[in-house]
Amino acid sequence: MRRSSRLGLRPLSEIAEAGLHCFTQRGFRLTQMSDIGAELGMSPSAAYRYVESKEALFHIAALHAAGTPLGGLPLPVAVSDLAETVLSIEAIVHSWPRWPALRAALDHPSPVYSLEHEAEGIATELYDFLAATWRLIVLFDRTANDIPSLKTAFTQQYRAPYLADIVTWFGRRYDGDGPAEALARSGIEAISWLAMRRRTDPAAASITEEEARRAAARCLIALLQAPQRRPAM
Domain ranges of the chain: 12-81, 96-224
Is residue 216 helix, strand or coil? helix
- Within a 10 A sphere around the Cβ of 97, how many other Cβ atoms? 10
pTM above 0.75, yes or no: yes
Query: Measured at the alpha carbon of residue 11, what is the angle toward residues 10 and 14, in degrees to the nearest 5?
Result: 90
Can you give the pLDDT of all 233 residues of the chain as single tens digits?
A: 344 455 578 999 999 999 999 999 999 999 999 999 899 999 878 899 999 999 999 999 999 999 999 988 999 999 999 999 989 988 888 888 889 999 999 999 888 778 999 999 999 999 999 999 999 999 989 998 898 888 787 888 788 999 999 999 999 999 888 799 999 999 999 999 999 999 999 999 999 999 999 999 999 999 988 655 444 44
Res 18: pLDDT:
95
| Cis peptide leading into residue 148 (ω within 30°) | no
DSSP string, 40-99: HT--TTGGGGTBSSHHHHHHHHHHHHTT---TT--SSB--SSHHHHHHHHHHHHHHS---
> Which sign, positive or negative, has the C-alpha torsion 25, 30, 31, 32?
negative
Query: Measured at the alpha carbon of residue 157, what is the angle toward residues 151 and 160, in degrees to the nearest 5?
Result: 85
Domain 12-81 class, CATH top level: mainly alpha
Contact by Cβ (8 Å): 22, 31: yes
